[in-house]
Amino acid sequence: KKIFLFLTLSASGDVERIESLFNRKYFIQQELYADYDGRTSMHLAAAYGHVNVIQLLIRLGYNNGINNKDRWGYTPLDIAKQMKFTNIIDQFQQQQ
């Protein structure tokens, strides 16, 4: 349930709820939330072009999804490159 909520909020770009749930310790930075295909919130935010979600997660210290590969071997950066979201590509490259 927690994973589904986090991934849904990330895919929809709901930064306010994500931040609120992190602040209330519902989500924690040390946990990696991924679906059955290994896609993290970073993967989904990158796929849907939500740079604001990515910026929030980085600011909150939730960087553990940046380099994770999904079951097809793609990182969130790979997905951003496929989608040609240059603002997201720039965010990820600043973290490396």
pLDDT for 96 beyond 80: no
Burial class, 92, CB count within 10 angstroms (exposed 0-12 / middle 13-18 / buried 19+): buried
The predicted model gives 70-75 an average pLDDT of 97
Q: Any idea what the CATH number is for the domain that residue 85 is in?
A: 1.25.40.20
| pTM for the model | 0.92
Give the tens place of pLDDT for each residue, 16-28. Answer: 999 999 999 999 8
Give the tens place of pLDDT for each residue, 39-67. Answer: 999 999 999 999 999 999 999 888 767 88
Q: What is the number of domains present in the chain?
A: 1
Domain that holds residue 45: 2-95
- Separation CA 35–CA 20 (nearest Å): 22
In the structure, what pLDDT confidence band is assigned to residue 31 with cuts at 50, 70 and 90? Answer: confident
